[in-house]
A and B are shown apart, each in its own frame.
Chain A
Amino acid sequence: MQARTRFMLAVVVLFLLMTGPFLLTALIVWVETAGEAREMLVKVLSPHLTLGTLLTAMGFAAGVGVVRVLFRQYVQGLLRMSENLRLMLGANRGFRVQPEGPPEVQQLAVATNELASQRDVLLQDVEAQIGRAKASVELEKDRLAALMSELTQSVVVCNLDGRVLLYNNRARAQFRALSDAPGVAGGGELIGLGRSIYGVFERNLIAHALDTIQQRLRRGAAQAQANFVTTTRAGQLLRVQMAPVLSLAAPALVAAESTAVAAGSVTGVQQNAAAEGDGAGNAGGGAFPAAPEVAAAAVTSERTLTGFILMLDNITRNFETESRRDQMLHNLTEGNRASLANVRAAADMLEFEDLTDEMRTRFRKVVRDEVQAMSQRLDHTANEFADSLKARWPLEEMLGADLIAAAQRRIEARIGLPTKLEEVDESLWVKVDSFSLIQAITYLASRLSDEFEVREVRFRLSAAGRLVHLDLIWSGQAMSTETVMSWELEPMKIEDESSPLTVRDVVDRHDGEMWLEREKVRHRAFFRILLPAATPQEQAEAETYLRGESRPEYYDFDLFAWSEKSHELDDRLLSELSYTVFDTETTGLNPSQGDEIIQVGATRILNGKLLRAESFEQLVDPERPLAPESAKIHGITSEMLRGQPTIDKVLPAFHAFAADTVLIAHNAAFDMRFLQLKEEQTGLRFDHPVIDTLLLSAVVHPNQESHRLEAIAERLGLTIVGRHTALGDAIVTAEVFLKLIPLLAEKGIRTLRDAREAAEKTYYARVKY
């Protein structure tokens, strides 16, 4: 009910209250008197009736006045106050109610004002706390970044999709060395935020390492890490250590820990680094002195793997040194062993009394020659051996049963061959490079299956002193020694997956042996692989792990939540895609008439940020003369192009640089035409989604005449530097695109699909006129 209605009602009630009793009394008196008495009554009352009415009217007026005052003060006053309160609640937090009206209302106003002040203080406090927390997170990030850039080891952090979230300078330098075309993209096509690590490492290798880590986590192992060594496409040898990035499932726990962690953040990181460095896991007690029970709870709660850290060492050179050293050691030991045998035997012979002179001379000559040969070997080794480095294939210790279980899974998954276990000693630990070893076992099983129609393989694991026998058993005929030799010495190939290694390489890597044995009675045969045994890992390490648990806090990056698989590219927001923005300079405007690309420049956009540091710029030898007048446009002369790589060298690097991204160019059709004309020559298809800033500008500003890059940049308030170099133009285009994103959103164009459809429409509209 509205206030005004209620006021009217109150007035009516007042009127009824004031007049009602009097009129009722009059009516009763009127009814009860009759005849003369009534006439008398009229006669007596009539002269006073006016006065009575007048007095009643005056009383009523006074009553209405009182009601009105009360109404103004208690109803309208409170209503006004509630409006003000609402103002205080939202739009104007600093506003305070003016205490006015009757004392009760004034007290209410004062109390409300006090409440508001209290709220403001609390709010400010919360904001200050958020600010402090943010600052400390920033500080931690800075520290982490500083620490990472100081590290001599290269570090790459990835999410589970293999997207790079973080890398350090060292990693960048290392990837440059890994690039197929180091001069062209400077390794930028391999590493960059948001890029896939599978561009460098085989997917299987990473998957296997993750699998190993998961298995260890499930067993509650203290150090859930995996090591592997791999060769890259460019023939480099990398030693990789993988550590998991874990996050706790229970958010309350994370909050509880964060204070403790923030206190000891730097020490925590250093301890972790140290622990990883020497593998001893000797993190000191500093990180978690205050909250052991929290840490214990953390371990029992479910830890989920959200990503992984790769620490890389390029050991190509070390390995070469190592091989040379091995060779020397080999010469020294085996060569001298043989020589010693010869000398010793000859010396023994010389002791016989019945020697002929001729024989005696011959034995003496043997002794002389061999001793001389040994001296030479020693000298040679002493010279060469001075600079030796310790770098071996890192073998990791693992439970033999785990190794076999992994091999079984792989054989069943890859070649669909059933496997069984036979006498597996569960207590045995082995020292192995599990990836290559499982590859070798799978390879042997696949050849057994392909060439000897073996239907099932079995595993056996038994101890043999400091060695372990790993047997791969099958029923049926055994192959010839020559066949075994060829299996051992041919590079491994399982279906489409091939490796430069041979089974012999893998066995040598373990300093082991392998041979074929027959069990004639049971009509079976088996390959026996001798592997080094390891002493069982101590479970006591678990305690060290509790203290080192703080690590996930340092990688509190939102990027971990980012999973590309979950979205179809078309329905992704423009603001969250990753882009390669590029431009080309050419000899002319007609690619079909032989004009060629002379420069490619590109930069990247990731999560709405321009990554200038990750750019690509390369001059290209067009293999045709350059019209001198074109130099006026792009400033590139034929001297500058001499000795530059040709397009069939540059495009593959650019293609890799642009992998998994959306391409952006200004007047993209022009540049795309040049790229597409090279498809046949290079075998590379540029079938990425393409965005044209020219068309998008026309979508946003349909009434503007010019959509040249300069004009758009000026309109959007961008300053232009370095125009008309390919990279300069690409950067301007990227900035234009970033400015266009919010303008497009105003028009309801948010996803890649929206943008494409809008661009198509404009394109046809422009074509029509």
Chain B
Amino acid sequence: MDKKVLIADDEQNIVISLEFLMKREGYQVEVANDGEEAVRRIRASRPDLVLLDVMMPKKSGFEVCQEIRSDPEMAGIRILMLTAKGRDTEVAKGLALGADAYMTKPFSTRELVDKVRSLLEH
């Protein structure tokens, strides 16, 4: 069965690349443009992995992450956080709140694909 990936980011210019990339890797792709939409879509379609941007309107990536992690039914969902902030305090916070991995922008798409793949294999 195809794995499902949700891309939660408000920047269309990255979404277009991520969407293309994930589809090319053979995943089913869904897109959310803000935090609230992300939570809604995650609850509705239970993706296997979420590419979660930290800075989003309505709800930040941290909040989305915390909300998902507080629901035991969604414990299996992998979360890969993406951020444009390079601060290590933020990385620490993201991981503490339950993200499985963290990537700082700009990242290499190859590494991203590797990371997604390894997260989905486990």
Q: Which of B70-98 contact A (CB under 8 A)?
A: 70, 82, 84-90, 92-93, 96-97
Known A-B contacts A337-B105, A344-B107, A515-B97; A481 and B67 likewise in contact (beta carbons under 8 Å): yes
Q: How many residues of chain A get a CB closer than 8 Å to chain B's CBs?
A: 35
Q: How far is the CA of A466 from the CA of B87 in the complex (A)?
A: 12
Bound-state CA distance A342–B70 (Å) is 31
A359 to B19, CA, bound (A): 12
The chain A residue sitting closest to B60, CB to CB, is A485
B104: nearest chain-A partner, CB-CB:
A337
- Chain B min CB distance to A513 (Å): 4
- Report, nearest first, the 6 A-B pairs whose CB atoms are least far apart: A345-B17, A341-B105, A341-B106, A340-B106, A348-B109, A342-B13
Which B residues are CB-close (under 8 A) to A339?
13
A507 and chain B: residue at smallest CB distance: B89
Contacts of B108 in A (CB 8 A): 344, 348
A-B contact pairs, 15 of them (CB 8 A): A337-B84, A338-B11, A341-B82, A344-B106, A345-B17, A346-B13, A348-B109, A369-B13, A467-B92, A481-B67, A511-B89, A512-B89, A513-B89, A513-B93, A515-B97
Contacts known (A334-B84, A341-B106); A362 close to B92, Cβ less than 8 A: no
The answer to the question of A370 belonging to the interface, with a C-beta cut-off of 8 Å to chain B, is yes
Within 8 A of A (CB), among B1-55: 11, 13-14, 16-18, 20-21, 24, 55
**CB-CB < 8 A to B24: which residues of A?**
352
A555 to chain B, nearest CB (A): 44
Q: Is B110 an interface residue (CB 8 A)?
A: yes
Could you say which residues of chain B place their CB within 8 Å of the CB of A362? 16
Chain A residues with Cβ under 8 A from B110's Cβ?
A: 348
Residues of A within 8 A of B89 (CB): 467, 511-513, 530
Whether A737 sits at the interface, judged by CB under 8 Å, is no
**Do the beta carbons of A340 and B13 come within 8 Å of each other?**
no
Q: Give the docked Cα–Cα distance between A708 and B27 (Å).
A: 100
Whether the pair B84, A342 counts as a contact (CB closer than 8 A) is no
Alpha-carbon distance between A513 and B104 when the two chains are bound, in angstroms: 17
From known contacts A338-B84, A342-B11, infer whether A366 and B17 are also in contact, taking CB-CB under 8 Å: yes
Most buried by B among A366, A370, A481: A481
CA distance A465 to B97 in the complex (A): 19
Classify the secondary structure of B's interface with A: helix
**Residue in B70, B96, B108 with the greatest tally of chain A CB atoms within 10 Å:** B96
Additional pairs, 14, CB under 8 Å, beyond known A345-B18, A513-B89, A528-B96: A337-B84, A338-B14, A340-B105, A341-B106, A342-B13, A346-B13, A348-B17, A352-B24, A362-B16, A363-B16, A481-B67, A515-B97, A517-B96, A530-B89
State how many angstroms separate the Cβ of B29 from the closest Cβ of chain A.
14
CB pair A341–B85 under 8 Å, yes or no, is: no
User: B-facing mask of A493-530, CB < 8 A → 1, else 0?
Assistant: 00000000000000000011101010000000000101
For B86, list chain A residues within 8 Å (CB).
333, 337
User: In the complex, A555→B96 CA distance in Å?
Assistant: 54
Instruction: Please measure, in the bound complex, the distance between the C-alpha atom of A366 and the C-alpha atom of B14, giving whole angstroms.
Output: 9
Distance, CA A369 to CA B12, complexed state (A)? 12
- Provide the bound-state CA to CA distance between A443 and B75, in Å: 33
A464 at the interface (CB under 8 A from B): yes
Which residues on the B side are within 8 Å of A465 (C-beta)? 88
B residues contacting the other copy or chain, number (CB 8 A): 34
Interfacial chain B residues near A343, Cβ < 8 Å = 106
Residues of B within 8 A of A334 (CB): 55, 84-85
The complex places the Cα of A335 from the Cα of B85 at a distance, in Å, of 9
* A349 interfacial by beta-carbon distance below 8 Å: yes
Given contacts A349-B20, A359-B20, A481-B66, is CB(A341)–CB(B93) below 8 Å? Answer: no
Whether the pair A481, B105 counts as a contact (CB closer than 8 A) is: no
Docked CA distance A363–B70 (Å): 38
A530 touches B92 (CB 8 A): yes
- Smallest Cβ-Cβ distance to B91: which chain A residue: A513
* A352 vs B24: C-alpha distance when bound (angstroms): 10
Docked-complex contact B105 and A515, CB < 8 angstroms: no
Q: How far is the CB of A297 from chain B (nearest CB, A)?
A: 48
Find residues 642-694 in chain A having any chain B CB closer than 8 Å to their own CB: none
**When the two chains form their complex, are residues A513 and B11 in contact, meaning their CB atoms are under 8 A apart?**
no
B109 to A342, Cβ gap below 8 A? no
Most buried by B among A341, A346, A466, A511: A341
Determine how close the nearest CB of chain B comes to the CB of A422; give it in whole angstroms.
Answer: 18
Within 8 A of B (CB), among A435-473: 464-467
A485 and B84 form a contact (CB under 8 A):
no
Nearest A residue to B109 via CB reads A348
Is B92 in contact with A481, judged by CB distance below 8 angstroms? no
Q: Which of B17, B85, B96 contacts A342 (CB 8 A)?
A: B17
Query: Which residue of B21, B24, B86, B89 has the most chain A CB atoms within 10 A of its CB atom?
Result: B89
Chain A residues with CB under 8 A of B87: 511
In the bound complex, residues from chain B placing their C-beta under 8 Å from that of A511 are: 87, 89
B96-122 contacts to A, CB under 8 A, are: 96-97, 104-110
B97 contacts across to A, CB distance below 8 A: 515
A362 to B55, CA, bound (A): 24
A370 proximity list for chain B (CB < 8 A): 13
What 1/0 mask marks residues of chain A from 689 to 726 whose CB sits below 8 Å from any chain B CB?
A: 00000000000000000000000000000000000000
The residue from B20, B66, B84 contacting A341, defined by CB atoms under 8 A apart: B84
> Which residues of A are found within 8 Å of B13, using beta-carbon distances?
339, 342, 346, 366, 369-370
- Asked whether B17 lies within 8 Å of A363 as measured between CB atoms, the reply is yes
B102 CB → nearest A CB, Å = 13
Q: Give complex CA distance A485, B64 in Å.
A: 13
Considering only CB atoms, which chain B residue lies closest to A338 in the complex?
B84
Distance, CA A528 to CA B14, complexed state (A): 32
Using Cβ atoms and an 8 Å threshold, which residues of chain A touch B109?
344-345, 348-349
Contacting pair B17 A349 (CB below 8 A): yes
Interface string of A322-365 (1 = CB under 8 A from B): 00000000000111011111111110110010000001001100
Among A333, A339, A345, A363, which residue has the most Cβ atoms of chain B within 10 A? A345
Set of chain A residues within 8 Å of B66, measured between Cβ atoms: 481
A346 and B17 contacting across the interface, CB-CB below 8 Å: yes
Give Cα A346 to B109, complex, Å: 9
A338 surroundings in chain B (CB, below 8 A): 11, 14, 84, 105
Distance in angstroms between the alpha carbons of A339 and B108 in the assembled complex: 13
CA distance A291 to B86 in the complex (A): 54
Q: With contacts A352-B24, A481-B63 known, is A342 near B88, CB below 8 A?
A: no
Max chain B Cβ within 10 angstroms of own Cβ: one of A342, A343, A349, A370: A342
**Cα–Cα, bound, A512→B66 (Å):** 19
A residues in contact with B88, CB < 8 Å: 465-467
- B54 vs chain A, min Cβ distance (A): 10
Q: Are A345 and B93 in contact (CB under 8 A)?
A: no
Most A C-beta atoms less than 10 A away, residue of B20, B86, B97, B107 = B20
Q: Which residue of B is nearest A370, CB measured?
A: B13
**Are B106 and A481 within 8 A (Cβ)?**
no
Please give, as numbers and ranges, the residues of chain A lying within 8 Å of B105 by CB-CB distance.
337-338, 340-341
Determine whether the beta carbon of B106 is less than 8 Å from that of A513. no
B27 to chain A, nearest CB (A): 15
**A54-97 contacts to B (CB < 8 Å):** none
A368-395 interface (Cβ within 8 A of B): 369-370
**Minimum Cβ distance to chain B for residue A600 (Å):** 55
| Interface 1/0 per residue, A533-546 and B, CB below 8 Å | 00000000000000
Q: Is the CB of A345 within 8 A of B14?
A: yes
Q: Specify which chain B residues have a CB less than 8 angstroms from the CB of A528 in the assembled complex.
A: 96
CB proximity of A44 to chain B, nearest CB, Å: 143
Rounded to whole angstroms, the CA-CA distance of A344 and B90 in the bound complex is 23
Asked if A342 contacts B14 (CB within 8 A), the reply is yes
Closest B-chain residue to A367, C-beta based?
Answer: B13
Shortest CB-to-CB span from B114 to chain A, Å, is 13
Contact B16 A366 (CB under 8 A): yes
Distance to closest chain B CB from A58 (angstroms)? 126
Shortest Cβ distance from residue B64 to the other chain A in the assembled complex, whole angstroms: 10
- Kindly provide the distance from the CB of A215 to the nearest chain B CB, expressed in whole angstroms: 28
Q: Contact partner of A337 among B17, B18, B106, CB < 8 A? A: B106
Beta-carbon nearest neighbor of A532 in chain B:
B89
What residue of chain A has the Cβ atom nearest to residue B17's Cβ? A345
